[in-house]
Structure 1
Amino acid sequence: MIKNIVFDFGGVLVQHDFMTFFTKILGSKEKVAWFMQNVLPEKVNNDIDMELHEPSYYIEQQKRLWPEYTEALDAFDKHYTDIFIGESEGIRDLMLKLKADGYRLLGLSNWSSRVYDVMAKFDIFNLIEGSIISKDVHQLKPNKDIYMSFLQKFNVKADECVFIDDRPDNIEGCKAVGMPGIVFRNTQQLTQELNKLLPTRI
């Protein structure tokens, strides 16, 4: 029976808008798309989230490789929280209902230490009892090890949790350790999916 509802952070609890943030600096969506593929690609973001070094280390590294994009990289470094634009619509009310029904609300997120800046901006994170962040364990979703670290830290069983993430690959990762998962698209869809798994409707 499900006892623990486990939330990813970015794209689930709070929404981000990299396109608008960088378009103000780079001037067009096409330039932003190229920038995100080449100057700030997923591998660099993963390195930042793994945090073997401080986030600024990786930004400086990219500035040396791409000096013509120093302004955009500096903005990413200095105005990071501006990328995060608000809570996902309806998610707070859903979390409050789940909490009132006795479910334990936990977090599991790929994020650097910059997560604390975002958590300070949005008090929805106060509804989470505890979490594992990739920077703390130097592990990343969707790899098996971070899910195992989560289960161990909170002393919970995989089949008593349901993990909610906006990326399908991360949901495949949790299922690989026996944890049910839901790909988040919006709160209404999430509620419908949860009602299929939980013993009482929310």
Structure 2
Amino acid sequence: MAAAAAMHISTEFINLKPNIWKKPDRASGSCCLGSDDISRKRKLPILLFDVMDTIVRDPFYHDVPAFFGMPMKELLECKHPMAWIEFEKGLIDEEELARKFFIDGRDFDLEGLKDCMRSGYSYLDGMQELLHTLAADDFEIHAFTNYPIWYNIIEDKLKLSAYLSWTFCSCISGKRKPDPDFYLEVVGHLGVEPCDCIFIDDRPTNVKCAIEIGMGGLCFQNAESLAKDLSHLGIDLSVPNI
């Protein structure tokens, strides 16, 4: 959350172009699943979605500074530099987060912060419709996200599990994107080759890592551009009102 706000993205990645996913040549043995039987039954590619600011609005950037009554710059200066990252990786629980969130150890209303986050979670324009279309077409869709156990709050409010599985969360794996080991853990768990996956994220550095290990990668801007990018990759979908 706060770590993301402080991250500086190199301009060389801003215009990152999608790595084009092509149906693997299984006859040649390149980029194949464990068996021909599995590859026939499993629809490919598998779609891996970041969640925050890709599917769901991230309340941190607008709502949380207002909750604390300070501008973002001041909040970033006051917060502990590692507390949220540790929370995202499941290394500390929310009580420890409350104790460590501010460098000076000041108290704050943890339940109030959670309510603030809950109120701010909403689908980005067009994304619920896009996910519905992909799920209705029987694509296998997984969340691949840096987020703490509060992903349960998102699920309770928005019911993302109607469209995807919360399979790969940093708070469960103990790893965060763009750690390459997290990506390799994903493909190992799925039992596929990297080229059998398309990864969608709003952060170019995370997409770059996916491409480097052999996944297809798309840098998310909005639902309309994502639908076009997926179409260019051979995933044709018609999403109304995007």
Shorter-chain TM-score category?
Answer: 0.7 to 0.9
| 1:44 and 2:83 aligned | yes
Residue 114 of structure 1 is matched in structure 2 by 150
Distance in 1 (alpha carbons) for counterparts of 2:108 and 2:235: 52
Query: Which amino acid counterpart does residue 176 of structure 1 have in structure 2?
Result: E
Q: Which of these residues, 181, 188, 193, is aligned with residue 229 of structure 2? A: 193
**How far does residue 153 in structure 1 lie from its aligned partner after superposition?**
1.4
Q: TM-score if structure 1 supplies the norm length?
A: 0.85
Aligned-residue identity in percent: 19
Distance in 2 (alpha carbons) for counterparts of 1:67 and 1:80: 21
For structure 1, the 5+ residue unaligned runs are none
Residue 76 of structure 1 is matched in structure 2 by 113
Distance in 1 (alpha carbons) for counterparts of 2:114 and 2:132: 33
**How far does residue 33 in structure 1 lie from its aligned partner after superposition?**
2.3
**How far does residue 175 in structure 1 lie from its aligned partner after superposition?**
1.3
Distance in 2 (alpha carbons) for counterparts of 1:47 and 1:21: 22
SS of the equivalent of 1:106 reads: strand
Distance in 1 (alpha carbons) for counterparts of 2:117 and 2:59: 11
Distance in 1 (alpha carbons) for counterparts of 2:115 and 2:139: 37
| 1:53 and 2:92 aligned | yes
Query: Is the contact between residue 25 and residue 72 of structure 1 (CA under 8 Å) also seen in structure 2?
Result: no
Q: Deviations over 1:130-177 (max 9, x none)?
A: 521111110110010111111111212211111111111111121121
**How far does residue 67 in structure 1 lie from its aligned partner after superposition?**
4.1
Query: Which amino acid counterpart does residue 18 of structure 1 have in structure 2?
Result: F
Query: Is the contact between residue 55 and residue 127 of structure 2 (CA under 8 Å) also seen in structure 1?
Result: yes
Distance in 2 (alpha carbons) for counterparts of 1:179 and 1:53: 31
Residue 172 of structure 2 is matched in structure 1 by 136
**How far does residue 186 in structure 1 lie from its aligned partner after superposition?**
0.5
Distance in 2 (alpha carbons) for counterparts of 1:99 and 1:156: 19
Residue 88 of structure 1 is matched in structure 2 by 124
Residue 66 of structure 1 is matched in structure 2 by 104
Greater share of residues in strand: 1
Q: CA RMSD in A?
A: 2.3
How many equivalent pairs are there?
Answer: 196
Distance in 1 (alpha carbons) for counterparts of 2:224 and 2:235: 18
Residue 7 of structure 1 is matched in structure 2 by 49
Query: Which amino acid counterpart does residue 124 of structure 1 have in structure 2?
Result: L
Q: Deviations over 1:21-77 (max 9, x none)?
A: 23433445xx22221344154x432211111121321221234x3245x33766435
Query: Per the alignment, do residues 170 and 158 of structure 1 end up closer, same or farther by CA in structure 2, a change over 3 Å counting?
Result: same
Query: Which amino acid counterpart does residue 79 of structure 2 have in structure 1?
Result: V
For structure 2, the 5+ residue unaligned runs are 1-22, 24-43
